[in-house]
Structure 1
Amino acid sequence: MPTFPHARSDAAAILSTLRKGGAVVRTRPQNQIQIRRSWNFSLTAALVLLCPFDLIASLGMDMYLPAVPDMPGILGTTPERVQFTLSGYLVLLGMGQLVFGPLSDRLGRRPVLLTGAVAYTFASLALVWTHTFWPFVLLRIGQAAGGAAMLVATFATVRDVYADRPEGARIYGVMSAILVFVPAFGPLLGAGLYEVGGLRAIFLPLALLAAMAGLRAFRVWPETKPAEHDDKGVQLRSFGTVLRNRDFWRYTLGYGVAMGSFFVYFSIAPALLVHHYGYSPLGFALLFGTVALVLFGTSRFSNRMIERHGLAGCFSRGLRLVVLGALLLVVREVAFDHVVAFMLPMWIIAVGIALIVSVAANGALVAFSEIAGTATALYHCASSLCFVAAGTAAVVLLPGESAWPLVVYGTLGGSSVLLLSSRTARERRG
């Protein structure tokens, strides 16, 4: 039974709603109305306001990758030490959210977001003219800290405003798709910019984007943290409240399965499509991009699926599609070695990913309006650790130039979360 911090009568109403797959908002109606009046953006305007912060945090890692081979010479150090500039960014981007999530519950979403934008802008500008190793590493850490603050404040704001609104599924879907596909296209953009202008051409655009997004947020971004929860503060017990919640874990792990499936696909696709099937870089990019089209196309219709099947129904159908696509890849391995036998299952998996990411955040965070920042931070940190660790193990331990890593990851991951969801449903009925 999930742990809810309210009275039993309130818990009964919540459980009734969760059985239907609906969304629960624990904020008082009057306060919720006030939040929605302050956040009076259309869906398109909200996406234009929110998505740049999601995009910038991801591009900080991926646009920099093409410069890594030259960094030992630029910084006067060894290739091994240059890895600190990569690992430091990744670690701070994930773990930093565990700091900024609780801070956003104490101070508000707006100050955390704006502070993150300022830190990211100045760190990116300083990186342009830094050519010694340790200052460069420290600035990359500062850049990642800014990215972490922007990410957690953005997702917490979406939770505050859209928890029980149909637009939330579309926004979560688009923002999660950005996190999925920036690693695919960010390095290509970074390579082109680096070829033209070196490191300056990589970090100056990032600084400019962060400054523009931060200035717009300063002008129009309202505070959305529920006012009656100002006394919650940064409390360790908030972490325990989230981590004891079974719904948090099943939706978070499901999100990890979805993101991890694309992570594995991203890892094995170049070897299969370029080396095995002989596609040119352009052909690879176009074929790879079809998965993006399927994911974005599906996300446009996710609202209808949620209205028909609810959060839980949409979530389970997405997991089943991931498992189905992973199992169909076995045909490619044992009977029909053709590009269609690789791409068709991946398109099915992409539909499943789109359905999962459209509902996973709302399902995981639904019980935590009081501590949405803390819950958001744990959601992203836990799901990232799960899919990076399990996905990397699948790619490293299973045969290369094959689809077996995705077969194993998608089948075992999707089936495990489906079993957890089924067990939770049985316990509630009992």
Structure 2
Amino acid sequence: MRIVMIGSGYVGLVSGACLADFGHHITCVDKSEAKIDALERGEVPIFEPGLDAIIEHNRAAGRLDFSKDLAAPVADADVVFIAVGTPSRRGDGHADLSYVYAAAREIAAAVSGFTVVVTKSTVPVGTGDEIERIFREEFPGKDIAVVSNPEFLREGAAITDFKRPDRIVIGTEDARATEVMREVYRPLYLNEAPLYFCERRTSELIKYAANAFLAMKITFINEIADLCEQIGADVQKVAKGIGMDKRIGDKFLHAGPGYGGSCFPKDTLALVKTAQDYDSPMRLIETTVAINDNRKRAMGRKVIAACGGSVRGKKIAVLGLTFKPNTDDMRDAPSITIIQALLDGGATVHAYDPEGMEAAKEMLGTVTYGTDPYEIAEGADAIVLVTEWDEFRALDFKRLKTAMKNPVVVDLRNVYPVTEITRHGFSHFAVGKKTEKR
């Protein structure tokens, strides 16, 4: 099939590359000349393990190409995916759909013959209806079916998620569009990936409901962690104990500094705003958003407390900046709020992250960046583990203690057992565990 992907950001580029790997012919379109020029030079603008190899392979095979103009590829396309950004709108928190509607108008003007237009972007309920209205009123002669097909890609594991999905949700009540979408995902037949067809509005809500539930689960275990610290329990053991219940499951029960990234913060807020518009407020999600925002600031205070109540004039080494490992995404990363709290407290912050430092430089103030954990630990009063990259899982604590001014470790991801830290003479501050001071 000939497929066009409008938007060559995280979702569009991963989805387009994987569909090309299935054997479809994909054209990824983006208005950013710099991005398209970079892709045509073989430079991938995002970090996602394995993505560069898939892009290179499919470009060489002639199944994947890039364009700054959508008119020609859309005219030949069987399916056009809209995968543009839907950031939180300034002022009210609603999803900004201006890019989606602009893309829809350009697509409708260019299509020729029956074409399925698919919203892959995360959009509020009713967006597909509005796109259909635009097509019907502004382009009445065009034969277009509008479908919802939300993405469920985890940054750092997106290729696996696309090729071996838990489910593929497709929202349409159009029989022709149903058959086209079956053909798009037919290569996944051997993987037995379940195609779940439902109404378009239902499909749009499924994405928001899924992300909101996972955000709630993270927030729940973070609050349990706070209680554990007060009563002397171990949150990791609590999480394991409740996660063994199949009704609950063990995923997203890892206590930490709060959720961040491109999805959970904006999607929970957008769901809250949608529910308010329909006079059906979602109190659990509203509270989840508030708790998560407060938690990031609380983690900054936790580091300050671990340093004796003040960080003025002290050097703090921060390990990990991105919101999670295996990505370069700094959007709403807990590290931003934590580092700002340390800077406000008068600390000097030195930081290291395998992939996120370039993006961090645009977001953070006077932070010094190093080349490895041991460089930034030199003369530090505390080391704070914020993101659980693999290379931080086997640190040489003997070497760190020699380098540091004060042996204090604040492990906000509970990467290390208490004994692993304390036996080297460090004071250990974790999340949801008893503090062990040297």
Q: Compare CA radii of gyration and give the structure with the larger one.
A: 2
Higher relative contact order (CA 8 A, sep 6+): 1
Band the TM-score falls in, shorter-chain normalisation: under 0.3
TM-score w.r.t. the length of structure 1 is 0.22
TM-score w.r.t. the length of structure 2 is 0.22
User: More strand per residue: 1 or 2?
Assistant: 2
User: More helix per residue: 1 or 2?
Assistant: 1
